[in-house]
Every structure is written in structure tokens, then in C-alpha cells.
Structure 1
């Protein structure tokens, strides 16, 4: 992946980096609270919110719907490179964080289906898929006034963002949160199975060669164990105001 252009190369790059002063990145492992915190933070600041994970889910769904062999990296990558993904403000009060359109079709309701959930880790590990999604994410981030969450936002997608945060929580706490989310949706859940799945996802995310899950060197790490969403949001706002 080619490095991000740095300030001083031309006026366009300078303008982009100046706008990134209004960009806030939040990274962290699954169920660390980054999406919930990010959405509430964006609402508090009047910023746009983007959970980049939904873009990888959209790419996964697109491959599944065309019955592409997910182990065929080239075919999956080609489909991802063709996609036009639009992220809009939510139009339904059903818990969704955004409306997601792929090639003009609303796919929001399909993004959390089991087959997408089970395959997204593989699809998001492909280099060309990540490059395609990163390009779209950078275009969105360059507009400024955005809270963007994911696993490599501060390190890869928006490395020039002024405010970077990395949320962590114990596996036990994250498993408990995910368990309660699943139960609240009316589905059966097993706490031990959830904990095992989280550990496996952590292993894959942190050990992959391309854009591994690590905190940016200039990110502030916040442990969310024992804290509610409002407490974490207030902590982030206080840090931003002090900077």
C-alpha cells in the first residue's frame, strides 16, 4: 500500500491534512465499545459518524450475493474494487448507525446476517479489498468533522488525524457485552462460545500482515472496563479540549 501523502507536497495535500484536524479516529478490538462510543461522540460534537466495519461487511455481502468463492482472493478483490458504497445518515430508528447502499441498493438490513458475520474476517484480510475500502474511507475522512471507527483508522486510513484513540477492554467484559447484545435481540447466546470467538478474532486481527490491530503511536489508549458509554465519551471530549 502506498504511503499517505504528507503535508507540503502540494496545496491539495495541505488542505486535506488541515481538514483532518477535525477528524477523530477510534480503533480497538471487537466489542471494546468503539462503535457505541463513536456514535455518541459524533452526536455530541455534531460530526459525521462512520463505522468502517460496515464497509467490509458490504464487500463481503456483495461477494456472497454473487456466489463468489470467498477463498478466491482475486475474485473477491475484483468485486470489492467495483463497489460504490454510500454511507448515509440512518432513516430508520431500529438501532442502525447508518444507511448503507451498495451500487444504489439499500443493504443495511443484510449486513449483520450470520453468513456475513462469519466471512467478513477473511474478506477483510485481503490486501486489495483493504486498499479499495481504505481509498473510499480516506475520501470520506478528507471532508473533516468526522468520527471514524475501525481497527486501522489511526494507523493506516487517517494517520494524519489530530485526535486518535484506542479503546481496550478485557475479554471477559467484551464477552459480557456481546452476550447481552445477542440476548437483547432475542437470539440464543453462549458466553463461553462468545469468549472463544473473541479470542480467535483478536488473534487474527493482531497477527495479520496487512494493517494489524495495533494502537497508533500517538493514540490515547482508554480502558473501558467498568465504564459506561457516557463516561468514555466525556473522557474523550476532555482530552480533545485539553489538546
Structure 2
């Protein structure tokens, strides 16, 4: 039997960390759907046309190379607004979501578009300033030459693109549980998410 957990939210809100923790706790498979767009974005940086890149994407590419650079993140955000790119990646995500044994998917339109029937829908968020500081520390630790002001600008620009795109804009599903991590530790945010999933599992089974 399948059980789907859809976790959405803006960049650096903590949804990736929470998704990994939830999948590990319950033994569910995990898919960071943002990697799909990052992989397509990387291909476009190499000169490939976005739709062709999405249509030719293979699952093994998600584990190849560093897909989490600032340059690839910006490229991913730009290709994600293209309707035909999103359409090419929908089937991959939906197939993953319904695999036996349970699945956790995190992204920006999982609860609204990819898995509107998911048993659990979370929208993980935090203030732009908090998210920018988290991303700045992450990039600095990886040797990236950037500034807090530049990262905050990038975060705000990406939020605007994600929220204003015509296809599958980033927004909470009507029945999503909002989880604001601005003032929560990783442990506290994960514990809250696990409790939400456990409650849903009891009701489902």
C-alpha cells in the first residue's frame, strides 16, 4: 500500500532536511524533486535546450556531480517556470509517489499539482532573512564567494519567480499544514513533522 507525504516550501526553509528525516524515521523512499530541475538547469548551462533536457533526463543523473551550487540553483529556478519542462517531469514524480511502502517528496508544487491526493501535506516556510542566512552559511562553508546581501537578493528573486509563475506557482495546498521553522531548531521542526505524519498514518490505517 502506498502512503505519500508531500512537503513544499521555499528555498532554505528546511524542507529538505525535514523530508530526509521523515523518510528515515518511517522507512519511506525520498525524492528531492528540486534535483530534477537542478539537473535540467545544469544541462542548460552546458548549452542544452530546457525542454529537450527535461525530456531526456535520467534518474541516475540526480546523483552525479554537485547540483547544489548557486549557479545551478538559479538555472533551475529559471527552467522551472517553463510549462513544458514541468510537464515532462510530472510523470516521473507521480510514479515515485505511489511506490509501495511509502514515499516522501519535497518541492514547491507537490501538494498542489503532483500529489493533490497525498495523505500528508506540509508547507515548510521561514522568513526570507532567516532562509538567506542559512543559505549564506551553507554556501560559505562550501567555499562560495558571496555576500549576505547578495544571497538575500537571490532568495527574494527566487521566491518571486516561484510564486508568480503561470504554471504550478508555489503556494500551500488548501489542506496543507503550515510549519514555520524561523524560530525552530532542526530537531524541533523534524519532531513536529513526524508527529503530523504519525497522526495521519493512524487515521489512514
Residue 55 (str. 1) matches residue 36 (str. 2): yes
Query: Is the contact made by 2:12 and 2:135 (CA closer than 8 Å) also made in structure 1?
Result: yes
| Structure 2 CA distance for aligned equivalents of residues 63 and 225 of structure 1 | 33
Equivalence map 1:134-149=2 (5 Å) = 134-144=90-100, 145-149=102-106
Secondary structure at 2:7 match in 1: strand
| Runs of 4+, deviation exceeding 4 Å | none
- Structure number with bigger Rg: 1
Question: Is 1:127 aligned to residue 83 of structure 2?
Answer: yes
Report the Cα distance in structure 1 between the residues aligned to 2:177 and 2:69, rounded to whole angstroms. Answer: 33
- Please report the TM-score for the alignment, with normalisation by the length of structure 1: 0.77
Would you say 1:223 and 2:180 are equivalent positions? yes
Listed as ranges, the gaps of 5+ residues in structure 1 are: 1-17, 69-74, 87-100
1:26–1:154: 8 Å Cα contact kept in structure 2?
yes
Q: TM-score if structure 2 supplies the norm length?
A: 0.90
Pairs within 5 Å for 1:148-167: 148-167=105-124
Structure 2 counterparts to residues 60-209 of structure 1, below 5 A: 60-65=41-46, 67-68=47-48, 75-83=49-57, 85-86=58-59, 101-102=60-61, 108-144=64-100, 145-209=102-166
Structure 2: tracts of 5 or more residues without a match: 201-205
Q: Deviations over 1:1-45 (max 9, x none)?
A: xxxxxxxxxxxxxxxxx62xx110110011111001111111111
Query: Residues of 2 paired with 1:184 and 1:216: CA distance?
Result: 34
Which structure carries more helix by proportion?
A: 2
Residues 83 and 167 of structure 2 are in contact (CA less than 8 Å); yes or no, is this contact kept in structure 1?
Answer: yes
Deviation at 1:107, TM superposition (A): 5.6
Name the CA distance, whole Å, in 2 between partners of 1:184 and 1:79: 30
Matched, 1:233 2:190: yes
Deviations 1:185-213 (A, max 9, x none): 12233111111111111111111110000
Shift of 1:134: 1.1
Deviations 1:42-95 (A, max 9, x none): 111111111100011112223333x23xxxxxx421332233x22xxxxxxxxx
The partner residue of 2:9 within 22, 28, 50 is 28
Q: C-alpha root-mean-square deviation of aligned residues, in Å?
A: 1.7
> 1:114–1:183: structure 2 CA closer, same or farther, 3 Å change rule?
closer
